[in-house]
Structure 1
Amino acid sequence: MRKEESKSVTIQELKLKDIKVTLTYIKTIINSDKIQTLLVKPFFELKDISDYRSYLKSLMGIKTVSSEEEKDLQLAKGDVAIQLCGEIYLLPVQQTRVDSVNEATVETTIQGPRFAFTENLIANLNILRSRYQNPHLTVEVQTLGEMSNMDAAVIYDKTVVNSAVLDIVMKKLEEIDEPIVETTEKLQNIFTDGRRTLFPVSITTERPDRVVYNIAQGKVVIFINGSPFALIAPAVFWDFLTSMDDLYQTYWVSQFFRSLRFLGLLIGLVLPALYVGIVSYNPELLRSQLAISITASRQGVPYPSFIEVLFMLIMMELLVEASIRLPKAISSTATTVGGLILGQAATEASLVSNIMIIIVAAVAISNFSIPLNQMSYAIRIIKYVLLIFGTLYGLIGLAVGLVTLTFYLTSISSYGEPYFKIPIQRKPNELKGVTFQNGE
């Protein structure tokens, strides 16, 4: 069930006889040892209100606050508010937890932050708050799984969040009846029912800067204790082709690389089916020199182009899968050597043509250019569907397959948002309260 809204705000009262002091702070971003040493312990040792006030004023960095807005802003930055005799003091006690934080390994970038989320929920909230120092950041904590009882945090900025999306997310969370929910990937499958849709409608990411950027765009983020990935909803098709490097490069550089990713997606999707359609049905579309070169390359190959393409694509998928499963010390060497030996032996044995090796390599490289794995997996599967269309009906079948795929994508909705919606990127000065911190 949905719990009451929580901002991780703790209100601690210190009382001794008639003396009362109230401490207010956000527990996920402060150093609790400093509060105990600098505020709690001296309160009970001094025992006099005037002495305690004089002690507070002597602390380095302490200041008075004049408005609630300023107080909320400083709380979000890691200060503790001390209410004493009608006066409110602010003392910075922020702590950024880096003891259990690892570098990003799944979504690597050339520039930008290096830290990734960890499996500790409190540490993840600490990392997030240190980069999104906004008092409107809201955290709602729920318990998922009747047996696992894992804590899940729903995070959003209440001033910019899409309320319709938030209601859908909350409703889906309340309807979960799974006994064990231990990762955000599992939660993603529960939300979308993975048997009904192939394309992802939400993002799982390990990067704090991507989470911060999407929160500022009005999206909802979910963390689960024990999972190092955050779930971002909603996500449209174009979001999966956006790398965080696009934020750190100049406009034309980012547009160039984004165009390369779209080209890579198109190549990985249609090139195998296009090769089969042209070679088997419409070789007249090629220039005579290229057609003669392909024919000479396929001389001696005993199988039709469809079997040739399917064989090499499956072997490439097995090499990718082996590189994931093998130990890191030998995975790159084993798969590289295996791929070279396999390709050379296959061409010398006339099982495949030389042009086929080039096509498979181009498809593999193009798939790896997609920044987020969820979309890359979908494209790797859909290319086989288009390959079947191209095998059965040639280029006409490929065209029909692409049109059908386009209609299918336009019919999908992501938490009420059209899947082919073109997101409007906000300008940097519109992302109020957002801080992208580089490096550590």
Structure 2
Amino acid sequence: METLITDIKIALGDNDDFFIKRDYLIEEEVVFLGLNTLLDITKTKTTLQKQTESLILKGKTTQLLFNLIGDVFENDTKRAISSILEGKLIIFIENTKQFIIYEPISKSINRSIEIPTNENVIQGPLNSFTEDIDTNIGLLRKQLISKQLIVHTTSTGMVQKTNVSLLYLNDKVDQKLVDNIKSLIEKNNDLEITDLQGLSKMLEFSSWDTISKFNTTELPFHASQFLKRGRVILFVNQLPFALILPNLIWDMFIVENDRNFPFPIMIAIRFLRIIGILVALIAPGLYVALVAVNPEVLQIELALSVAQSREGVPYPALVEVIIMLIVLELIIEASVRLPKSVGQTITMVGGIILGQAVVEAKLVSNLLIIILAATTIANSTLVGTQSTTSIRLFKYINIILSSLYGVLGLVTGIVLICSYFASLTTFGKSYLYLNIERKDNSG
């Protein structure tokens, strides 16, 4: 046993929160090892004492007591070290080669379940996922009480161990999809997973895809509905959201909370989101096309009004649009990075003052400010931060093509974007797939 303790001291002894304490348990001399930043040793010892006293009163033998307290191992230094790093308490038994891995009283270092911060819920459950993977699985199990819900958890990484959990409904999912994901996780088990790029690398997704293969949600209710439609859910420890595979284009327009409204209202809301993506993609390019290349398409009164709004603007329409779009992107990025207490105020006031100043200075037209404001609002109607970011990128393709070929270039850009969407697949499922839910043909 002394060799095991020495090996652990060599591995962890440089840490000030690592402790080794000798004590007695069931009249046996033992050694406690752990990290006092992850466990409460005082409360743990009190709980352990009460547990052993209760078992002694039931007449259990010493060896059986040890087995009932926790998992007993022998001469496994690697397991002991990894268990300590995970926050477990190691109990070495003197004069033997055995040690017990005990589940201690952990210190409260996890965030409590709170309302979502990135997804607004109008009508529906308000609890959201946290950074603790076990809590997230528990939230989903509480939301979806079914014996068909299957959970597979794997520890990945060589240096930094990270748990990755795969969840699916056994009677709804395509088993080939599950098998593909499992095989890739096992194949690339040594990769470090700390973000979505790392997970994409593990699942061998292209790093140059502008559309994310994952749809993300903070809401257990939404995750449970995706499971019912035959999707799979991935949880990564320390990531406070669920990753849904595969991601489909319709996820940008459909939110399960819409079903809390009357059916006509639900359809109208989803139709508004479709209008939103069209405005976000087309409006800036259409402005450039009609101003710079095809003004003859406009009625004479409207053409004169547009020309008057651009009177004195020294730049071509393309440069004018690109400059203002970049400024808007900076404002959006600043609103994300600034502290919440001042972020909204600074970006709103800055945007208003900046917009008014550039118009009065004759650097951009009044009409362009209206177009870009409508584009930004329309882009925000889409569901999911991953989707809105992608659409923000695609509109630049339409702007450039519109500046070269006018309305024809805009149409070409839309066709290219639709072709790109049609070319995307995730484990054999097209990005444009209409319904991934399996039909139950039994009885």
Does 2:351 correspond to 1:346? no
**Residue 116 (structure 2) aligns with:** 104
Given candidates 180, 200, 220, the residue that maps to 2:212 is: 200
Given candidates 251, 255, 258, the residue that maps to 2:263 is: 251
1:241–1:372 contact (8 Å) kept in structure 2: no
Per-residue CA deviation, residues 128-167 of structure 1 (Å, 9 max, x unaligned), is 1111110121111101122211111111111111111112
**Aligned AA for 1:266?**
L
Does 2:225 correspond to 1:213? yes
Cα offset for 1:168? 1.7
**Equivalent-residue separation in structure 2 for 1:211 and 1:280 (angstroms):** 46
**Residue 298 (structure 2) aligns with:** 286
Identity over aligned pairs, percent: 35
**Aligned AA for 1:150?**
T
How well do the aligned residues superpose, as a CA RMSD in angstroms? 2.7
**Residue 13 (structure 1) aligns with:** none
Cα offset for 1:171? 2.3
Given candidates 135, 145, 149, the residue that maps to 2:157 is: 145
Give 3-state SS (helix, strand or coil) of 2:166's partner: strand
**Equivalent-residue separation in structure 1 for 2:190 and 2:403 (angstroms):** 42
Q: Where does the alignment leave 5 or more consecutive residues of structure 2 unmatched?
A: 1-47, 60-109
Per-residue CA deviation, residues 63-114 of structure 1 (Å, 9 max, x unaligned), is xxxxxxxxxxxxxxxxxxxxxxxxxxxxxxxxxxx98111111111201110
Q: Where does the alignment leave 5 or more consecutive residues of structure 1 unmatched?
A: 1-35, 48-97, 431-440
For 1:30-179, list aligned pairs within 5 A: 100-176=112-188, 179=191
Per-residue CA deviation, residues 345-394 of structure 1 (Å, 9 max, x unaligned), is 10011000000100110111011111111111111001111111111111
Does 2:238 correspond to 1:226? yes
Normalising by structure 2, what TM-score? 0.73
**Equivalent-residue separation in structure 2 for 1:186 and 1:299 (angstroms):** 50
Cα offset for 1:172? 2.2
Give 3-state SS (helix, strand or coil) of 2:203's partner: helix
**Aligned AA for 1:260?**
L
**Aligned AA for 2:136?**
N
Normalising by structure 1, what TM-score? 0.73
Cα offset for 1:226? 1.3
**Equivalent-residue separation in structure 1 for 2:300 and 2:436 (angstroms):** 46
Given candidates 395, 400, 403, the residue that maps to 2:412 is: 400
Give 3-state SS (helix, strand or coil) of 1:382's partner: helix
**Residue 32 (structure 1) aligns with:** none
**Equivalent-residue separation in structure 1 for 2:260 and 2:201 (angstroms):** 32
**Equivalent-residue separation in structure 2 for 1:293 and 1:265 (angstroms):** 27
Cα offset for 1:175? 3.0
Does 2:369 correspond to 1:364? no
Structure 1 residues 424 and 247 mapped into 2: Cα distance closer, same or farther (>3 Å)?
A: farther
Greater relative contact order (CA < 8 Å, ≥ 6 in sequence): 1
2:312–2:362 contact (8 Å) kept in structure 1: yes
User: Highest Rg: 1 or 2?
Assistant: 2
Per-residue CA deviation, residues 189-239 of structure 1 (Å, 9 max, x unaligned), is 653645331112221211101110011111111111111111111121112
**Equivalent-residue separation in structure 1 for 2:290 and 2:415 (angstroms):** 19
**Aligned AA for 1:114?**
L
**Residue 287 (structure 2) aligns with:** 275
Task: Single out whichever of 331-340 and 396-405 deviates more from structure 2.
Answer: 396-405
